[in-house]
Amino acid sequence: MYNETVMEHFQNPRNTGEIENADGIGKVGNPNCGDVMMMYIKIEDGKIADLKYKTFGCAAAIATSSVASEILIGKTIEEAEQLSKMDIVEVLNGLPEAKIACSTIAPDAIRAAIEDYRLKANS
């Protein structure tokens, strides 16, 4: 069902965990399948210097979270906001059609974490 790239990221997810005193935290869930993701970001000079996440969900949700973390570290805030589910699916060399919805969790989480960062920065 899943290709080798998806299975590698599912079995060996990158950048998992939490960042203490994160600059931004995003929590999102997919009501259709029950996946939940917490994303923590550290911002330095307008770029994502560090990113950690915790994902509760299926193999596709975990794999897409892992790939997204690799894509996002080092990106500017503006570049990170442009991340799409299809960017993630492409890096994973595809997902089964029924699992493409799982790939929305990371783009939604990064936007929520950036929003939280902006709220904190402006208060």
Q: What is the pLDDT of residues 27-48, one digit of tens each?
A: 998 767 788 999 999 999 999 9
pLDDT for the residue 95: 92
Q: How far apart are CA 72 and CA 11, in angstroms?
A: 20
| Catalytic (active site) residue 102 | yes
DSSP letters spanning 51-62: EEEEEES-HHHH
The number of beta carbons lying within 10 Å of the beta carbon of residue 47 is 16
* 8 A C-beta contact, residue 18 and residue 40: yes
Q: Out of 102, 106, 109, 113, which one is annotated catalytic?
A: 102
Question: Could you tell me the pTM of the whole model?
Answer: 0.93
Catalytic residue among 5, 8, 33, 91: 33
Mean pLDDT on 62-80: 97
CA distances from 54 to 14, 70, 78, 101, 121 (A): 11, 14, 23, 18, 24
Q: What is the CATH number of domain 4-121?
A: 3.90.1010.10
Residue 58 annotated to the active site:
no
Q: Any idea where the domains of the chain sit in the sequence?
A: 4-121
